Structures are given as structure tokens and as C-alpha cells.
Amino acid sequence: MSDFFFPNSSYAVTEKVSVNVTPPPNQQVVWKVSRQLLQQKIYRANVIASLREKYGKETATSPLVADDRQLTDMWWILDEQGRPVRLPAPQGNFADAVQMVDYCSQTLGGSWFAPSNLERYLNGLNPSDWCSSAGIGVHASLGGQQEIVGDLQVDIFHVPLAVRSAKTEMTFVTGIGKRRQQQEIDQSKQARPKL
């Protein structure tokens, strides 16, 4: 994950972009992008119209209302080819599908690919879990219900890509560990004790 800040500068940061990429041994590709616009003064209707122009009609909103003035979050759920799909049925302990999709978009953090994180996550992975198998989408958070939008955050995420990469990384890391262990065994066979 890369964040660009200018902590000692004399101007305020009004945009923050975070890019999360998959780790080696596969080719590194982007699986999540977050863009946060801060200290904006954009008319709410213009923000919503621009989002719909770019991503199409949203799959779901929060709250689920017909009045755009009340929207705080917008969701677009996609397949691996980038085509819109229906909102999935809620799984597990989620009261509704929007809560599940929201959790999915936030599940994997920037340091997620550390082996200890991977091992914990992959050991508890349910292959039928929507997030791990189909969790692809866009989430726009409008920062409240004000008529003028001050802060806007848009996250684009592809969780199945991250999960596939995590499995490959764990296989790679496990293989390195086994090779090192075998090397130590082979070296110990060569050593002669001094008695």
C-alpha cells in the first residue's frame, strides 16, 4: 500500500490515494484502490451524478432510500469482467447484503500479505464465502447527508484476486521453509561431533 503525504508542507492535503498490490511470487497487480478527497465543496447532486456517469446505476445504497439527498454510501457490485451483478444474499451474521459487502471491502488491510496474517486468514477461509469468491466492487462514501459534500471516499476492490494471490504466496513461503529445513537436515548430517 502506498500513501502519499507531505507532512512538513505548508499546504493541506486534499487528496489521498492508497494502492494495494498483490505480493510475489506472481506478477504484482493492483487489487484495491482507495481515493479520498478531503475539504471539498461539491454539490451533492453533482457528486452522485458523476459517480453514476462513471460506474452506472448503483447496485445498492445505504440507507436504502429513493431520495438521493439521504444517501451516505453507494455500492456497485461487479463480476470479474467488470459487468454489474445483483447484490448477493447475506451470509453469516450479516443482517443484510450491504453490511456484508461493506465488511468485505474493508476486510483486507495493507499489511494483510504478511505470512502470519495470511496463515490465520486462509486457515479459516470458507470457499463458499461471497467475499473471498466474488467480492468485487466499488464503494463510494459521501461523508454524511449534507447538501455540500466535504469529504468523499471511493474504494475499488477485487478480493478474490487478493485471495488467489495469498494462496500462491503461502505455497511459495511454505516451500521456502521446507527447503530451508531440508538444507539444515542435510548440513547436520555432514557435521561430525567433536568428542
pLDDT computed for residue 138 by the predictor:
94
The three-point CA angle 24-116-173 to 5° equals 40
Query: What is this structure's pTM?
Result: 0.75
Closest residue by Cα to residue 76 from 95, 106, 54: 54
Strands 42-43 and 15-21 come out as: unpaired
Q: Where are the domains of the chain?
A: 15-189
pLDDT computed for residue 190 by the predictor:
75
Q: Output the tens digit of pLDDT for each of the chain's 195 residues.
A: 444 444 555 556 688 898 888 877 888 888 889 898 887 788 889 999 999 999 999 999 988 777 888 889 999 999 988 899 998 888 888 888 888 888 888 776 555 666 666 666 666 666 677 887 888 899 999 987 778 888 889 999 988 888 888 778 777 767 655 666 666 666 777 777 777
